[in-house]
Amino acid sequence: MKNTFSEKLNKFLLKDETFILLIMGAAAAIFAGTFMYIKFGTGAFNDVSIVAMLKEGMDGGSYSAAAGFAAGFLIARILEGPLVGILDIGGSLMTGVGIGIPALLLSMNFNLPFNNFFFALITGAIIGLLLGLIIIAIRKFVPKGVAVGGTSIMMGAGNSAGRYLGPLIIIAAAQYNVYAGLGALIGSAIFYKLEKEITGGAIIGAMILGAIFL
């Protein structure tokens, strides 16, 4: 009996090679986004506060803060991912590949990946390939049954802290524009009613009303 398309797709997606391809694509896009930010001032896939570290290096010439903070995230998430079976895209790719590695390259005056969009895509894809191979290798060599309970603390830390950002996002949106602030307030109220984290509602609400009235 022939496998259905859905079965073939599921089989393909569960392959190690597919994981590596997905990481390569994501890393290429994120690294290229950083290229866009460096060249045109917009496009970085990251939190404003973390991008500010890269901006500080671009303005002052010292990339130590961005490189140290973001590269540390990258290393931690690469070690964590194979153990828990979940790769934190924010910490590993958006922060590590998008900010940490570019900061390291710029600190060494290696500017080739940031001179051309095509080079940026290729560099990101190569970084993604290396990360994918490392993660799969760790996954293969970790003994079965190894205790990984401690990693749940790492996995939950960001989510626990993030819930307190909602009020700050509302205030920041209101300072930026009254419509964005109103949207953030409405969005957070809806999410609170739905028993969801208000941070997401504040961001979505600010984006919707901001896009309509700005």
Q: pLDDT per residue over 65-97, tens digit each? A: 787 777 776 777 776 666 666 677 776 788 888
The whole-number pLDDT of residue 123 equals: 95
pLDDT given for residue 1 in this prediction: 58
Give, in order, the Cα–Cα distances in Å from 161 to each of 59, 72, 147.
Answer: 30, 19, 25
- pLDDT, residue 154, reads 40
CA-closest candidate to residue 185, choices 197, 174, 194, 196: 174
pLDDT score, position 56: 86
What are all long-range contacts of 182-189, with beta carbons under 8 Å and residues at least 24 apart?
Answer: 182/209, 183/207, 183/208, 183/209, 183/210
pLDDT at position 205, please? 87
Distance in angstroms (rounded) separating the CA atoms of residues 63 and 46: 16
CA separation for the pair 190, 196 (Å, rounded):
9
- Contact between residue 181 and residue 173 where contact means Cβ atoms under 8 Å apart: yes
At residue 186, the pLDDT reads: 92
Q: How many residues does the chain have?
A: 214
Residue 165: DSSP 8-state: G
Ranges under pLDDT 50 in the chain: 147-158
Q: CA–CA separation, 32 vs 44, rounded Å? A: 8
pLDDT at 135: 83
